[in-house]
Amino acid sequence: MLLEGKKILVTGGTGSLGKTLVYRLLTGEMGMPKEVIVFSRDEAKQHEMRLEWKHLSQATDDVAYRGAHDLLRFQVGDVRNYNSLKRAMRGVDVVFNAAALKQVPTCEYFPMEAVETNIYGPHNLVRTILDSENPPQLVVGISTDKACKPINVMGMTKSLQERILIQANLETDKTKFMCVRYGNVVASRGSVVPLFQEQIRKGGPITITLKEMTRFLLTLDQAVDTIFAAVNTGKRGETYIPQCPSAFMTDIAKLMIGDQKIAIEYTGIRPGEKIHEILVSEEECFRTVQRGNYYAIQSVLPELREQKDEKGGPEKEYSSGNHTIDIDSLANLLRRAGFLT
């Protein structure tokens, strides 16, 4: 069990993915960790998560003052701040970097804020590791399909996060750096599916930018499965990709509307938005291999690529426009995610 007895840090641990990752870690399915530290800048979300973990409706002195001795710990801080990150990293064995600014329009209007979190944050993480006498054994950076052939600020900054973390393998042999890259998590904050749900609750209309729009879809647990697959079988410098279906946004909307009289309104493409997302680019195909239900993209840096007989990577660009599923399969996926009965 690879994470048995490990001290684990999850940056951005109060986000949708971060929370699911933390709770999966605490089940012990990858080995029972010694300690899991949630590191984020939102004290309110940390407080809610602490109460949820304790199965309490309100805080008590025991939670507020003696919670530092629990298996699950919380630390307020920001990946933008080198010193607070360095403090959180003391004695840590494994880091999952889920801290991010991830809303595409927000990043377009506040690009330097995205740079601070999505680029300087990983840079600070690497700095703390290179400055440490006892660095972690493993770092996994959480990326996005928008980092592949990026056209928006969010994707550009996440693409640079991948390169910063992958290149760090050349700086030290004490820490293994890897990344995972996946598509639209259907239940995450800001995802289109919860947005559709809220629009339906209010009586509509559902807003879609273009009829042709497609997105890769996976559940929060499938996103965590991808992270665990990387931990289990990933090699230094690789980026793990789930093989997952995609769907037309119009199909999702129609399924969620059902028999209700709710209109669909087409609003036009938003700043920085793609029509189709890409998980593996045409340029990456030649250095991508298949492992089970995942693709592993080997590093762009030849020094980190292992010459082995692994095969099975995509023959062409892995685009959401080429992997759309039928209505019945889409309905099953939405039911598993809790958005259809």
Strand partners for 144: 182
Please check whether residue 314 is in contact with residue 179, taking contact to mean a CB–CB distance below 8 angstroms.
Answer: no
Range list of β-strands (E), 77-147: 94-97, 138-144
Please check whether residue 273 is in contact with residue 152, taking contact to mean a CB–CB distance below 8 angstroms.
Answer: yes
Please check whether residue 210 is in contact with residue 241, taking contact to mean a CB–CB distance below 8 angstroms.
Answer: no
Which structure tokens are listed for 97?
């970097």
Please check whether residue 79 is in contact with residue 124, taking contact to mean a CB–CB distance below 8 angstroms.
Answer: yes
In eight-state DSSP terms, residue 119 is: I
Alpha-carbon gap, residue 299 to 304, rounded angstroms: 6
Could you say which of 6, 19, 102, 146 is catalytic? 146
Cβ-Cβ contacts under 8 Å for 8 (sequence gap 6 or more): 25, 33, 35, 36, 37, 92, 93, 94, 95, 96
- The 3-state DSSP class for residue 249 equals helix
Alpha-carbon gap, residue 325 to 252, rounded angstroms: 11
- Do the bridges between strand 294-297 and strand 239-242 make them parallel or antiparallel, or are there none, so unpaired? antiparallel
Strand partners for 297: 239, 288
Which structure tokens are listed for 316?
């062409």
- Do the bridges between strand 94-97 and strand 138-144 make them parallel or antiparallel, or are there none, so unpaired? parallel
Alpha-carbon gap, residue 53 to 246, rounded angstroms: 33
Is position 34 annotated as part of the catalytic site?
Answer: no
Of 304, 82, 59, 81, whose CA–CA distance to 171 is shortest? 304
Residues marked active site are found at 146
